Structures are given as structure tokens and as C-alpha cells.
């Protein structure tokens, strides 16, 4: 096999996904594996208020610091999936992660396997958060490092002016809804195109006036 063919054979196939936002607060999430990667995955759900249960023979130092709901110090068994809403397989052992995935599939439980898109029914994208913004980036499992790099670039765009544009837009949208009017109107786009430039120049009131005139004033 030539070098180019060998390289092509190692490329991870793209996983087609439908992007969604999961509300996990109060839901039971199982994490199988308690190493560095498992801890990083678990931390996301802990931060969002999920009931995180960790199953692993040993707890790594990063996982030991997380305030998870329960720790089970043994190997994974199928019964660990009882009452679980989503499972994360992060053992680093393809056989174990594959077994977790197959058990989850039989029970119709969503499964994410770290760095193993073939054994995923859920692919977790890289995420940039600031203020009300949550922006996710996925490469379909082919290059998580690039997705994380792009998220860092997006975070730089989410500056104070962008947050102020979002705040004013949310306020005007609430006024539109309070009047019983539809918020799905094309006029938003024309005003928002120049919004960042105007607000960054210290003219937030000008933007608010223009937005209100475009989507609210004159509508009954």
C-alpha cells in the first residue's frame, strides 16, 4: 500500500449529524471511564446541573475533584444503564466503549464515545460560550482539534459590543411579542448587518432606535 493510500485509510469518516441543544439539568448521565478525557466530558454535564454517575475501576485525579452525584468503582455492567438518559463511553478501550454503545443502542439510550465516532449516536461538538451565546462547531468527528481551534476564534468575536447587540435585540423582541406580533420578519437582517459597527462606536441608542423602527414601530 502506498503512503497516500495508507493515509487515506486512516481518515475518520465524517459522521452526519443534526445539531441540537440538550437540556440536561436534573437528568441522569452515565460516564463510563474516569480518566482525564472522562473527567472533561463529565465536567460539561456537571456544570449544566445533570445527575452524573461515574463507573470505573479507578478514579483519576481530575474526575475525583468533580462533584458528581455518584461514583461506582468497578467495571461497567449493562444494569448501569438503568434510568440513564445519556451515556458517555470514555475508557479508551475500543472493546469496552463498543460494548457500552451496543448496550445503549438496545435500550435506545443516546451514547457518546470519546474519539470514536463509529460508536456514537451523539457527537459532542466543541463549544464557545459567552453571555447568552452558545456556539457549537463540529467536523463530523474528523478533526476535534480543528473544531476547538475554530471555537477559540469565535470566542474572540463575541466581544462586549456583540453582547450589547444581543441584549438590545432581545429587549426589542420581547416588546414585539408583548404586542402579540410575529418576530419572524425580514427587517431584522437589514438592521443587524451594521449593528456591531454602530454599537462598538458607542452609539448603542442609535442601533436600538433603528431596530425598533424596523421591526416594531408602525405595526399594530
Mean pLDDT of 26-33: 98
- Residue 89: which residues within 8 A CB-CB, separation 6 or more? 32, 33, 96, 97, 100, 101, 111, 112, 113, 114, 116, 119
pLDDT digits (tens, 9 = 90+) for 38-89: 999 999 999 999 999 999 999 999 999 999 999 999 999 999 999 999 999 9
pLDDT digits (tens, 9 = 90+) for 85-131: 999 999 999 999 999 999 999 999 999 998 888 888 988 888 898 99
pLDDT for 4 beyond 50: no
pLDDT score of 12: 59
pLDDT score of 116: 85
What does the block give as the cell for 58? 479507578
pLDDT for 2 beyond 50: no
Which domains are assigned to the chain?
Answer: 21-124 (3.40.50.720), 125-157 (3.30.160), 160-215 (no CATH)
pLDDT for 6 beyond 50: no
Q: At what angle do helices 160-178 and 204-215 cross, to 10 degrees?
A: 30
Output 42-45 pairs: Cβ under 8 A, ≥24 positions apart. Answer: 42/66, 42/68, 42/88, 44/124
**What span, in angstroms and rounded, lies between the C-alpha atoms of 51 and 75?**
20
What does the block give as the cell for 62? 481530575
pLDDT score of 11: 53
pLDDT score of 3: 47
Instruction: Kindly indicate the confidence band of residue 19, based on its pLDDT and cuts at 50, 70 and 90.
Output: confident
Lowest mean pLDDT among 8-12, 56-60, 162-166, 185-189: 8-12
- Residue 126: which residues within 8 A CB-CB, separation 6 or more? 136, 137, 138, 144, 147, 148, 150, 151
- 200 close to 156: Cβ distance less than 8 angstroms: no
**What span, in angstroms and rounded, lies between the C-alpha atoms of 62 and 42?**
10
Strand partners, 31: 54, 88
pTM of the full structure: 0.74
What does the block give as the cell for 51? 445527575
Give which of 217, 168, 218, 219 is closest to 196, Cα–Cα.
Answer: 168
Amino acid at each position: 500500500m502506498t503512503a497516500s493510500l495508507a493515509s487515506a485509510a486512516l481518515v475518520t469518516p465524517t459522521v452526519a449529524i443534526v445539531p441540537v441543544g440538550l437540556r440536561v439539568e436534573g437528568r441522569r448521565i452515565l460516564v463510563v471511564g474516569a480518566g482525564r478525557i472522562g473527567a472533561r466530558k463529565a465536567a460539561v454535564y456537571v456544570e449544566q446541573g445533570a445527575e452524573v454517575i461515574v463507573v470505573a475501576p479507578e478514579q483519576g485525579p481530575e474526575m475525583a475533584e468533580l462533584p458528581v452525584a455518584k461514583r461506582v468503582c468497578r467495571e461497567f455492567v449493562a444494569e448501569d444503564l438503568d434510568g440513564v438518559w445519556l451515556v458517555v463511553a470514555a475508557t479508551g478501550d475500543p472493546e469496552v466503549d463498543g460494548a457500552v454503545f451496543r448496550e445503549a443502542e438496545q435500550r435506545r439510550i443516546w451514547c457518546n464515545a470519546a474519539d470514536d465516532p463509529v460508536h456514537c449516536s451523539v457527537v459532542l461538538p466543541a463549544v464557545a460560550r459567552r453571555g447568552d451565546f452558545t456556539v457549537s462547531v463540529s467536523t463530523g468527528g474528523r478533526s476535534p482539534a480543528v473544531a476547538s481551534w475554530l471555537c477559540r476564534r469565535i470566542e474572540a468575536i463575541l466581544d462586549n459590543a456583540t453582547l450589547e447587540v444581543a441584549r438590545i435585540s432581545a429587549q426589542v423582541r420581547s416588546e414585539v411579542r408583548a404586542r402579540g406580533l410575529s418576530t419572524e420578519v425580514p427587517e431584522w437582517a437589514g438592521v443587524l448587518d451594521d449593528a456591531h459597527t454602530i454599537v462598538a462606536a458607542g452609539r448603542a441608542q442609535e442601533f436600538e432606535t433603528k431596530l425598533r423602527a424596523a421591526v416594531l414601530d408602525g405595526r399594530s
